[in-house]
């Protein structure tokens, strides 16, 4: 197969940031995707109110004005003190698509996140009532006794101690376990056997194994949260994603950071900026697994079905053509962002074998 035409896909998990960073990164997503779920973890003030949500949406539309067909799907940032009525009204009024739950301290700009799942049960009750999806960063940071959880065990523990009882307590709540990274996660979603539970997957968790973070020395640009897991987990994810199962859909978790934040001596920023070639990398994974027939379902059909939306009528075509990302992304502030796949040494750039036909 030398060309592949699919309905234009959507990205069901994407970070745009704000200000100059927003202007630099948003067009890369708008070029490849018709819609995108926009994460609300802005700094210093996350999107917790309808007023801030609408203001952020306006800034996104301005940054993507060259792609008038692109639609940002907005989300609220869930806190211990979120207003359930305001959130439900935002959904029923059609201005918000979902709510994002970050366990406090779990990842970038999550310090205002949920400290105890029971504190947000009133919000979840209201969301269940109106059919509003809950998007979860599925990691637990500490045990009941306060001791820290190994970062490689956080997802598994979250599923066992938080997600499983949550689904029992709210049997009609729609939930997305975002950026799944473990065999336990895909098995749990499949065993649920319900259309109200879905999961998204990133490019990096499908392509990289834990040793890649340490090959030739510590690789800060491969650091993300949840972290890259062992090869056995990556292989389980690839099998699940390419199987055609309707529970799974695309969510890049494209998370741009200035190079200075990724390469500093302490506190390396977590996240990978995959938007400039995310769709092409996903196509490569499906091609390697001999599953291109299931590519459109993962990228363009399963997500809209979960969210109760129609698939996009427009199509996009990829062709078999080798290429690499050969430059950084410049930001007006003078910063630069290193896309996933780029390397200063040309021979070390990740090769791609599918390219969007212009």
Q: Which pairing describes strands 336-337 and 329-330: parallel, antiparallel, or unpaired? A: antiparallel
Identify the sign of the CA torsion 40, 44, 48, 54.
Answer: negative
Residue 321 neighbours by CB under 8 Å, 6+ apart = 353, 354, 355
Any catalytic annotation for residue 287? Answer: no
- Give CA–CA dist 125/131, Å, rounded: 10
Using an 8 Å Cβ cutoff, are 162 and 114 in contact?
A: no
- Give CA–CA dist 280/272, Å, rounded: 15
Task: Identify the bridge partners of residue 98 per DSSP, sorted by sequence position.
Answer: 75
Residue 189 neighbours by CB under 8 Å, 6+ apart = 177, 180, 197, 198, 199, 247, 248
- Give CA–CA dist 20/27, Å, rounded: 12
Task: Identify the bridge partners of residue 6 per DSSP, sorted by sequence position.
Answer: 316
235, 253, 287, 326: the catalytic one is: 253
**How far apart, in Å, are the Cα atoms of 324 and each of 9, 285, 299, 327?**
22, 16, 22, 9
Using an 8 Å Cβ cutoff, are 15 and 51 in contact?
A: no
**How far apart, in Å, are the Cα atoms of 340 and each of 12, 61, 138, 258?**
18, 25, 23, 13
Residue 221 neighbours by CB under 8 Å, 6+ apart = 262, 272, 338, 340
Question: At 320, phi and psi to the nearest 5?
Answer: -75, 110
Question: At 354, phi and psi to the nearest 5?
Answer: -130, 140
**How far apart, in Å, are the Cα atoms of 299 and each of 10, 248, 328?**
7, 9, 26
Q: Which two tokens stand for residue 283?
A: 């196509």
Query: What is the set of active-site residues?
Result: 253
């Amino acid at each position: 197969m030398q060309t592949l035409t699919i309905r234009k896909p959507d990205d069901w998990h994407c970070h745009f940031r704000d200000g100059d960073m927003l202007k630099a990164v948003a067009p890369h997503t708008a070029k490849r995707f018709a819609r995108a779920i926009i994460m609300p973890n802005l700094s210093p003030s996350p999107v917790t109110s309808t007023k801030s949500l609408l203001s952020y949406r306006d800034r996104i539309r301005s940054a993507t004005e060259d792609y008038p067909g692109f639609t940002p799907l907005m989300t609220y940032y869930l806190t211990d003190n979120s207003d359930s009525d305001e959130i439900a009204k935002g959904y029923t009024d059609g201005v918000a698509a979902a709510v994002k739950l970050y366990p406090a301290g779990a990842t970038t700009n999550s310090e205002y996140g949920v400290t105890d799942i029971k504190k947000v049960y009133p919000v979840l009750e209201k969301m269940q009532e109106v059919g509003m999806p809950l998007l979860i960063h599925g990691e637990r940071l500490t045990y009941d006794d306060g001791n820290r959880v190994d970062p490689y065990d956080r997802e598994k523990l979250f599923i066992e101690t938080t997600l499983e009882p949550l689904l029992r307590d709210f049997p009609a709540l729609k939930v997305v376990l975002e950026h799944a990274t473990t065999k336990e996660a895909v098995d749990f979603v499949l065993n649920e056997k319900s259309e109200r539970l879905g999961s998204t997957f990133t490019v990096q968790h499908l392509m990289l194994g834990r040793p890649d973070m340490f090959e030739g020395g510590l690789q800060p640009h491969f650091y993300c949260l949840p972290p890259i897991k062992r090869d056995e987990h990556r292989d389980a994810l690839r099998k699940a994603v390419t199987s055609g199962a309707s529970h799974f859909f695309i969510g890049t978790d494209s998370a741009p950071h200035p190079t200075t934040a990724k390469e500093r001596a302490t506190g390396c920023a977590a996240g990978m900026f995959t938007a400039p070639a995310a769709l092409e990398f996903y196509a490569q994974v499906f091609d390697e697994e001999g599953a291109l027939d299931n590519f459109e379902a993962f990228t363009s059909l399963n997500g809209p079905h979960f969210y109760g939306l129609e698939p996009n009528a427009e199509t996009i075509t990829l062709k078999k053509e080798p290429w690499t990302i050969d430059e950084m992304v410049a930001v007006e502030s003078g910063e630069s962002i290193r896309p996933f796949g780029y390397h200063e040494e040309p021979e070390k750039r990740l090769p791609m074998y599918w390219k969007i036909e212009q």
